[in-house]
Amino acid sequence: MKVLVYSSKNFEIPYLEDANKGKHKLTFIKESLSSETAMKAVGFHAISVFSSDILSNTVLEKLKDFGVKYITLRSVGHDNVNLFTAQSLGIKVANVPAYSPNAIAEHAVAILLALNRKLIPSNQRFKQFNFNIDNLIGFDLKNKTIGILGTGKIGSVMARIMHGFGCQLFGFDIKENKKLITDYELEYVSLEELCKAADVISIHLPLNTETHHLIDKTLIDLMKPNALIVNTARGAIINTKDVMDALVKEQIFGLAMDVYEHERDLFFNDYSQEIPKDDMLIKLNALPNVLMTGHHAFLTEEALTSIADTTVYNLDRWSEGKETKNELHFKVLKSIF
């Protein structure tokens, strides 16, 4: 099968080639998928896309006209795909449903600890041989209340890790995970109760119409002044402006995130010689109680291997005329409230 791989990154190409073993003809391009670049897919049976690629109605219609029949996502999230349109056009779409929950959850813990214990400024001082430790006070995680929004695969790993720290666990989800209740004494509560009680709020929800700007001023006003928000899910789950305002006013303690609401045209590119024209990002980056990484929570050897293996598996099944177990279908969203 001829496959065009959009948004291909240097670090992932060897993993994809190794998983493919020459079975499919993979063509890698660095350009992301958009209405303008869709024409590059002419002559390809399938395309592979990343989370930053756009698969709107217009793009999908163009891909259909160009003969593309299959789209395999190199991600779990699929909020960038209009599944209703894809299904209507007869284009099959599949994702990587769980490449490494540990990678994401462990990164969430890493940025939580780094922000809480002020590891970045401490290391910057150390590199300058400044061993003064003023203003580097954090807090123990033991006995703190951790609110976990989304207790699926990643949220479950987060619960297990935080339980190991000796934390009290609150969870919020449409479906309760009985194992988390039994094994880690997690208590399911309403979103409002969680926001009132949690010292740390860790987000592991998908982005959809129900969760867009879920964390806004209304919920922030319920939070403790020492609350710390961790987001390794999708940037638009939080209303960035509302959170930034709360940080400036010291309504909450801090923000640690690997994602950003307007990251699509920024992340995975080097702007070190050209400051991006994004005032919100510049202001966030300047705040001392904010720690951000550039959407690389998934970046482990295990995760990249799993993503590549599943991507090729999806292509294998389609080339054999079979359905892949990872196929995505449009369905009416069930409310989480």
Any idea where the domains of the chain sit in the sequence?
A: 2-99+301-319, 101-292
Choosing from 295, 301, 317, 327, the catalytic residue is: 295
Answer yes or no: 125 catalytic.
Answer: no
pLDDT per residue as tens digits for the range 233-253: 999 999 999 999 999 999 999
**pTM metric for this prediction:** 0.92
Beta-bridge partner residues of 256: 230, 291
| DSSP character at residue 332 | P
Beta-bridge partner residues of 201: 147, 229
Fold identical between 2-99+301-319 and 101-292?
Answer: yes
Answer yes or no: 107 catalytic.
Answer: no
88 to 39, 61, 91, 227, 255: CA distances (angstroms): 20, 10, 8, 44, 40
User: What is the pLDDT at residue 261?
Assistant: 94
Give the 3-state secondary structure of residue 182. Answer: helix
pLDDT per residue as tens digits for the range 269-288: 889 998 889 999 999 999 99
pLDDT per residue as tens digits for the range 11-62: 999 999 999 999 999 999 999 999 999 999 999 999 999 988 989 999 999 9
Q: How confident is the model at residue 335 (pLDDT cuts 50, 70, 90)?
A: low
Choosing from 24, 234, 261, 317, the catalytic residue is: 234
CA distance 108 to 3: 33
Beta-bridge partner residues of 91: none
User: In this predicted model, which residue has the larger pLDDT, 68 or 78?
Assistant: 68
Neighbours of 309 (CB within 10 A): 17
User: What is the pLDDT at residue 107?
Assistant: 98
**% residues pLDDT > 90 (the chain):** 90
CA pseudo-torsion sign 279, 282, 284, 286: negative
pLDDT over 70 (residue 183): yes
User: What is the pLDDT at residue 291?
Assistant: 98
Nearest to 154 by CA among 9, 290, 49, 303: 303
Nearest to 221 by CA among 240, 246, 191: 246
Q: How confident is the model at residue 331 (pLDDT cuts 50, 70, 90)?
A: confident
CA distance 324 to 316: 9
pLDDT per residue as tens digits for the range 150-160: 999 999 999 99
CA distance 293 to 296: 7
pLDDT over 70 (residue 337): no
- Name the CATH topology of 101-292: Rossmann fold (3.40.50)
Calculate mean pLDDT across residues 309-315: 97
- Name the CATH topology of 2-99+301-319: Rossmann fold (3.40.50)
User: What is the pLDDT at residue 136?
Assistant: 97
pLDDT over 90 (residue 334): no
Place of tokens 């090729």: 312
pLDDT averaged over every residue in the chain: 95
Q: State both tokens at 71.
A: 């789209």
**Residue 156 CA to its chain's centroid (Å):** 15
CA pseudo-torsion sign 212, 218, 222, 228: positive
Choosing from 12, 78, 107, 263, the catalytic residue is: 263
- At residue 43, φ and ψ (nearest 5 deg) are 95, 0
User: What is the pLDDT at residue 17?
Assistant: 98
Q: State both tokens at 110.
A: 């890493």
User: What is the pLDDT at residue 52?
Assistant: 85
Calculate mean pLDDT across residues 329-336: 64
pLDDT over 80 (residue 336): no
Answer yes or no: 263 catalytic.
Answer: yes
